[in-house]
Amino acid sequence: MAVIAFIGLGQMGAPMGSNLLRDGHQLKVFDINPTAVQQLVEKGATAAVTPAQAAVDAEFVITMLPNGDLVRSVLLGEQGVCDGLSPQALVIDMSTIHPLQTDALIHDMKQRGFSMMDVPVGRTSDHAIAGTLLLLAGGTSEQVERATPILMAMGSELVNAGGPGMGIRVKLINNYMSIALNALSAEAAVLCEALGLSFDVALKVMSGTPAGKGHFTTSWPNKVLKGDLSPAFMIDLAHKDLGIALDVANQLHVPMPLGAASREVYNQARAAGRGREDWSAILEQVRTCAGLSH
């Protein structure tokens, strides 16, 4: 069993700490909220008055904080973790912060001789309580291996994201996609309602198409991801259909800001000469706009 400093006992951190205690680990906790600290102490944790004090003798330091400025301050600020940390310890930041901040923190910690990895989590506070979080581990192989037994006290599935900083990156991509998709889904569902179409019928149809299954595993793998842009469904036609949908939505007063933005992406793809390419070529179009194509 390990000695673990746990800093940040919020809605996620508190149950994560409880699960570490339940697994028999020795916990030293710090939070600015004394009630949160007290609740963990009642379960067997020791209270620390500064992050530095929590870090003394710890084999692992876990941070679960609302933003990157706080993580930086807790690690590198006055009375911060670094002031008490052993060079043999492993710092695990489980917060959701800006990936470029994560990179900078890992770099700065390394310069001071400390080892740090990023393991943000997926799923909800219910999963935090149940110990069934999704663990997105960014670190060297050694770091991931070393942290796994500790992490698995808090989660039920661990994804090795492929290196330091990659845990927070995959969290970011996943959240970006799901959060924006939520807004797009709302546009489609509201247009459905405005058209008087049964949502169940729409769901039934979409469940068998990229509308419901996404593109990553349907329309892309045998096309753009293989470099084949010959059209199964042409960008020109996709652009036309989008125009019809927006026209109908505007007649019915359904605001579609994402749809409107997407039409301009197809529009630009056509201006770039891609009108007769497969719709999956939108990926290449966006890559080009981002300066990633040759």
Residue ranges for the known binding site for NAD(+) are 11-12, 31, 65, 96, 240
Binding site: what residues are annotated?
11-12, 31, 65, 96, 123, 174-178, 240
The catalytic residue among 28, 171, 213, 223 is 171
On whether the CB atoms of residues 6 and 19 are closer than 8 A, the answer is no
On whether the CB atoms of residues 252 and 246 are closer than 8 A, the answer is no
- Among 78, 88, 141, 179, the residue binding its own copies under the rule CB under 8 A is 179
Residue 23 or 162: the one with the smaller Cβ distance to its own copies is 162
CB atoms within 10 A of CB 255: 12
List Cβ neighbours of 141 (8 Å cut-off, separation of 6 or more).
none
Minimum gap (Å) between residue 32 Cβ and its own copies: 19
Residue 171 annotated in active site: yes
Task: Classify the phi-psi angles of 151: left when phi > 0, otherwise alpha if psi is within -120 to 50, otherwise beta.
Answer: alpha
Residues from 82 through 141 that contact its own copies (CB under 8 A): 96-100, 122, 124-126, 134, 136
What span, in angstroms and rounded, lies between the C-alpha atoms of 286 and 186? 24
What span, in angstroms and rounded, lies between the C-alpha atoms of 256 and 137? 37
Give yes or no for residue 170 binding its own copies (CB under 8 A): yes
Residue 51 or 122: the one with the smaller Cβ distance to its own copies is 122
- Among 162, 228, 229, 276, the residue binding its own copies under the rule CB under 8 A is 162
- Among 151, 259, 277, 294, the residue binding its own copies under the rule CB under 8 A is 259
| Active site members | 171
